[in-house]
Structure 1
Amino acid sequence: MIILRTSPTSPYGRKARIAAAVLGLEDQIKVDWADTRASEGSLYEQNPLAKVPTLLLENGESVYDSRVALELLDALAGGGKIIPTGEARISALTKQAMADGITDAAIQAQIETRNHPEEHWNTVWIERQQGKVNRTLKAFNDQPLPTPAQTNGIPDCAQIALACSLGYLDLRANGDWRRENPELICWHDAFVEQVPAYNETLAPEMLEGS
């Protein structure tokens, strides 16, 4: 059995958990929570970056990061399910990178505000990260991705990544993305309705607030 090291709130680990669910691989994968804030422990031995998600294969090999994890899960399911083939592949991978970039920038801004008192915040850095988030959200709002129902009912890697990014912004940024992105709200609502694994992988904080 494959072991998925992740944390309940990781948007990257959530990508792998949703992917496993939509691919019907849940019975082949065991989720093992990792303490990503620990300064030592088994995660450091399994992944020198000590980041999640990390997949532990039966042959002892470790696989990371989330994009590689989705590639592996797709291959285990026969291929061409959440990672398109042919010309559509590059487009999906690019949009997945865009969605992950939203998460990357949001996390960088959060680290700055979480780790320093407000009077010592690097506001230039925060604004730069927020600019990345806002521009990419606008790009997705102006040209929405298809919904899972429009792609044979199975979300691809880009759709999964974007849903997890928006979920992270709901969790850590008070859902501010919803103010100026009405088309993206509609897309997100459709994803939530069409992919049960989205609600099944909500962070505990979101469940407590529901």
Structure 2
Amino acid sequence: MWLAFTSPFARKVRIAAHELGLAGQIELQETDPWTDPRLRAVNPLAKVPTLVLEDGEILYESSAICDSLDERAGGGRLIPRSGRERRRALRLQGLTDGAATAAGRLFAAERRAAPDPMSPRFEQAIAASLDALETEALSTEVFTIAEVGVACLLGYLDFRWPERAFLAGRPGLSDWWTAVADRPSIIETAHRLPAVTSPSSP
């Protein structure tokens, strides 16, 4: 799998793989998606994560890759098979993916000299998403794609802005994050900086 260790979406796939017992079956290929032509050759968008399957099939986007991994593990573990639980899991996946995208764009904007007029919108999206997640009953025992997505969002916020108290005033979310912090899938997929950081990389 092509990835950057700074990407919350690549981490999402790695957490999912750990939770499903498939981490050892995925070979990791670190890349800089902003500069590596090899990635563009397999994914026209040049985005991470990108997974190349054994038969040569290529999957883009973390949601599609996680769905494939869940299917490989028998199905219904990360993504419930039907009903309200399935809809909830997919809804929270969409929410956390959107908030993580906003966080990535905000981080990139803050590193540029010129202000970005979209930054307030990104900040509002992150705050509103955290407020919504505060009302959710997240499991500390069984991880669906909902819990995986929340972990990735909170982990990315901690990674990029360790000085900001994003969870202040959100005790339920804060307690959940503390409770799952020593989960093997969280520990073993921690973000880290690459040897050379692209000036544009989120």
2:62 to 63, 66, 71: 66
Counterpart in 2 of 1:208?
none
Do the aligned residues in 1 keep the contact of 2:106 with 2:123 (CA within 8 Å)? Answer: yes
In the alignment, is residue 169 of structure 1 matched against residue 142 of structure 2? Answer: no
Give the superposition deviation at 1:44: 0.4
Q: Structure 1 unaligned runs (5+)? A: 206-210
The code of the aligned residue for 1:148 comes to: T
Question: Alpha-carbon deviations, 1:60-90, whole Å to 9, x = none?
Answer: 1110100011100000000001111111111
How many residues were matched structurally? 191
Match of 1:136 in 2: 129
Aligned 8 A contact 1:147 1:191 in 2: no
- What does the per-residue CA deviation read over 1:94-126, in whole Å, with 9 as the maximum and x for residues that have no partner? 111111111111111122221x31xx302x411
The aligned counterpart of 1:80 is: 76
Write out the 4+ residue segments of structure 1 that deviate beyond 3 Å after TM superposition: none
CA distance in 2, matches of 1:64, 1:176: 33
Cα RMSD, aligned residues only: 1.4
Give 2:115's match in structure 1, choosing from 104, 109, 121.
Answer: 121
2:175 matched to which residue of 1?
186
Aligned mate of 1:48, from 44, 49, 70:
44
Task: Measure, in 1, the Cα distance between the counterparts of 2:22 and 2:11.
Answer: 14
SS in 1 for 2:44: coil
Higher relative contact order (CA 8 A, sep 6+): 2
Q: Does 1:196 align with 2:184?
A: yes
| CA distance in 2: counterparts of 1:7 and 1:19, whole angstroms | 16
Contact preservation (8 Å) 1:147, 1:190: no
CA contact (8 A) 1:192 1:199 kept: yes
Give a deviation string over 1:150-203, Cα, whole Å, max 9, x none: xxxx3000100110100000011234312232211101112223x311011112
Q: Which one-letter code corresponds to 1:162 in the other structure? A: V
Q: Which residue is equivalent to 1:16?
A: 13
Structure 2, unmatched stretches of 5+, are 194-202
